Amino acid sequence: MKYSLVAALLVQSTVVLAHLLPVHLKAPTAAHFLEIVRNDTYDLGCRAIAHPTEDGHFKLHALLTEEQIAHLENEYKAVPEISLHRADLTKRAATAPIGTGDRFKAGTVTPVGLGTQAAGSTISSLMNVAEITSAVQALAKNAGVTTITLPNRTFNGATQIAAYVGAGTDKSKYHLYLSAGVHARERGGPDQLIYWISDLLAAKKSGGGLTYGRKTYTNAQVNSVLNAGIVFFPLVNPDGVAYDQSSGSLWRKNRNTRSGSSGTSIGVDINRNFDFLWNFRKYFDASESPASTSPSSETFYGTAAASEPETKNHVSVYDSFPKIRWFMDIHSAAGDLLYSWGDDDDQSTSTAMNFLNAAYDGKRGVVNDQVYREYIPSADAANVKNVAGKTVAAMKAVGGRSYNAMQAVGLYPTSGATDDYAFSRFWAKSGVNKVYGFTMEFGYSTNFYPTLTEFNQNILDTNAGFMDWALAAISVGLE
Ligand SMILES: *[C@@H]1O[C@H](CO)[C@@H](O)[C@H](O)[C@H]1NC(C)=O
Ligand SMILES: *[C@@H]1O[C@H](CO)[C@@H](O)[C@H](O)[C@H]1NC(C)=O
Ligand SMILES: [Zn+2]
């Protein structure tokens, strides 16, 4: 068994993959996992999420070393309700290849998405880092997109670009913002975003609609989404993605070496580095680990709020496009669409109980208690639930699989994340627009490297999700 597992992993061509094994733990309650979730040495994927199972239990997915598996098996020998299960990788097809050339020919050949191609068409490989830029430049050269160079260079010196399309030259007419590629290993996010924009522009030009599996959209819907004004930042973490693509090491963070220069001590988790309750030791209950102060953790929060150039660049987009109302950050892998808040349970009755109120410092983040719950006005709670529900309904209607809409906190809190930062700006800064923030978690749990079939299904699922997310946002309101 062990031999065949290792052999299967070697066939997948990534040696380091064998080092981190996908597992899930199962227990009768989500609280059974608290010891694991609060231990920042475990890799719990994009965020720790306890998923209900059909038999009324909960599952927690993780990527563990053999040593960690042995440690937990030993630890839980006396706790029979908690069981650990290895994923059966022997049945998995090879992971989707990464493009080796530049299929967009230095920004001259426009990408073509799946929504404007015949049913059953497929994309043959993931984009490499240079192709992501080349694809966006081709959309700029041929399809009406405008690129902007963001102010900071990454640790390894990359220049970052975002782009906008649909609502002309007045940046205050742009209301939708999407980003991808924050977590390096979450393969396919940048591709899905770029192919969706390509589809919208191709359909607008031809006067046609879009088809994603069993879900279709009219040309009028395409035009309405474009008219909402779309800003997109398809590759937030180019240093991390370049490293992940060359190493196959399931790399998540950026590649900043200031806090650690070898192995897993390299890098900051960009999705714990935003200025929302960033200094979690001060703001959260001492028992909670919404991020980590340890450089070797996958959730290392950095050296200050927005210490990282990628974070600063992401934030600069709000300053350039002051009327953004809706934000989505594209991640994997869980099969969820997350809405605010991510630091604690929501409540709409006590305005004083909010993330800015120092009276609650040291009390946040314990889910299912009454000590602290994050304030969300009831109208906002209704809006984000409504839009999240329509988004997952569209993803399910594609015909591939089902997705769940859920509050971002789930059963465990997060600090410094892109989605909470987006929504918090309205209260934390004066004179800025209110932004509803979402995180899409496409794909199956801990399945960061999709097979080619899964990669193509993810494009269909997410692109339908983006369409209905945008359409629902438009019907709630863009101003
Ligand atoms: C965290 O987990 C590691 C095993 O990965 C274990 O050695 C360590 O004792 C745990 N830390 C705490 C505080 O429980
Ligand atoms: C990073 O960008 C900000 C604007 O967001 C700018 O004020 C700052 O000077 C830049 N820093 C560097 C090191 O380029
Ligand atoms: Zn992620």
Q: What is the CATH number of the domain that holds 37?
A: 3.30.70
In this structure, are 312 and 414 located in the same domain?
A: yes
Q: Is 196 part of any domain?
A: yes
How much is the pLDDT for 8?
40
In this structure, are 410 and 323 located in the same domain?
A: yes
Task: Write the pLDDT tens digit of every residue in 6-62.
Answer: 334 434 444 344 489 999 999 999 999 999 999 999 999 999 999 999 999 999 999
- CA-nearest residue, atom 1 of ligand 2: 152
Q: Is 92 part of any domain?
A: no
In this structure, are 121 and 228 located in the same domain?
A: yes
CA-wise closest residue to 300 among 338, 308, 360: 308
Where a domain ends, among 86, 114, 144?
86
In this structure, are 186 and 323 located in the same domain?
A: yes
Domain that holds residue 121: 99-479
How much is the pLDDT for 361?
98
Closest atom of ligand 1 to 68 CA is: 5
In this structure, are 193 and 156 located in the same domain?
A: yes
The distance in angstroms from the start CA to the end CA of the chain is: 58
Q: How many domains is the chain built from?
A: 2
Distance 45 CA to ligand 3 centre (A): 7
Q: Is 158 part of any domain?
A: yes
Where a domain ends, among 45, 60, 86?
86
In this structure, are 361 and 330 located in the same domain?
A: yes
Q: Is 443 part of any domain?
A: yes
Q: What is the CATH number of the domain that holds 215?
A: 3.40.630.10
In this structure, are 107 and 82 located in the same domain?
A: no
How much is the pLDDT for 3?
38
Q: How many residues does the chain have?
A: 479
Task: Write the pLDDT tens digit of every residue in 76-130.
Answer: 999 999 999 999 888 889 999 999 999 999 999 999 999 999 999 999 999 999 9
Distance 161 CA to ligand 1 centre (A): 40
Active site includes 308? no
Which residue is it, tokens 């959260």?
Answer: 284
Among 186, 310, 441, 454, the one annotated catalytic: 441
In this structure, are 292 and 394 located in the same domain?
A: yes
Q: Is 93 part of any domain?
A: no
Mean pLDDT computed over 231-258: 98
In this structure, are 78 and 153 located in the same domain?
A: no
Given a contact cutoff of 8 angstroms between Cβ atoms, the answer to whether 459 and 188 are in contact is yes
In this structure, are 469 and 409 located in the same domain?
A: yes
Q: Is 94 part of any domain?
A: no
In this structure, are 32 and 134 located in the same domain?
A: no
Q: Which of 36, 71, 75, 297 to mutate for ligand 1's pocket (most ligand atoms within 8 Å of CB)?
A: 71
Q: Is 413 part of any domain?
A: yes
Distance CA(208)–CA(185), nearest Å, equals 34
Distance 39 CA to ligand 1 centre (A): 6
Give burial (CB, 10 Å; 0-12/13-18/19+) of 427: middle
How much is the pLDDT for 92?
86
CA-wise closest residue to 398 among 180, 211, 198, 137: 211
Q: Which of 36, 38, 41, 65 to mutate for ligand 1's pocket (most ligand atoms within 8 Å of CB)?
A: 41
- Is pTM beyond 0.85? Reply is yes
In this structure, are 228 and 284 located in the same domain?
A: yes
How wide is the angle at C-alpha 89 spanned by C-alphas 86 and 90, nearest 5°? 125
